[in-house]
Amino acid sequence: MSDRPPSEPRRCLIVGLGNPGKRYERTRHNLGFLVLEQLAEERQAAFRSKRCNAETAVTTWGQTPVLLAKPQTYMNLSGQAVAGLMAYYRIDLDRLLVVLDDNDLPLGRLRLRPQGSAGGHKGLASIIEHLSTSEFSRLRIGIRNEEQPKELADFVLAKFSQKEWPLVDAALEAGLRAIGVFIQDGIEAAMNQFNHIIL
């Protein structure tokens, strides 16, 4: 007899992208992790279990079961964890939302899309590769600032500065609200509410 959980078509999978380990905590590239950690705290959920190379937490939003996941594969291999979770929990593709940082957006700006290219983000590219489709929802949160150096790798792997944190906190709060709308009403409703706000 399989220990696989029963199929739950309405279950949502919310994935935050980042790199595991203390050296990457609270860095720009780990903004997806920050959103998930704050969401788990707000919902009184804990990242207790590890499955499919991801730390996971379980909560509900209204009547909807929600799985929160932080891949532990390192950013460039995030698709391994996401594909494993999608298969194990039988998640419908339209119930997946990936939360990630975006260097092409100004700090704090939110952009939700129902599909699209990776846009140079290697974590997102890995998910597209492993799912064999780009038709899943994503929430991008901007990290670009006016003092950004030419070396992108150093910038995204650095921690937010003290003066950036008020805007980061506002973006985290808006991101949580956007996730709630996605879970309850879908990606189009979330796009309509959050794609045009300026923090």
What residues are labeled active site?
29
User: How many distinct helices (H) and strands (E) make up the chain?
Assistant: 6, 7
Neighbours of 80 (CB within 10 A): 20
Write down the H helix ranges in the chain: 31-42, 78-88, 122-131, 152-156, 165-185, 187-194
Neighbours of 127 (CB within 10 A): 29
Spatial separation of the C-alpha atoms in residues 35 and 176, rounded to whole Å: 7
Spatial separation of the C-alpha atoms in residues 15 and 137, rounded to whole Å: 11
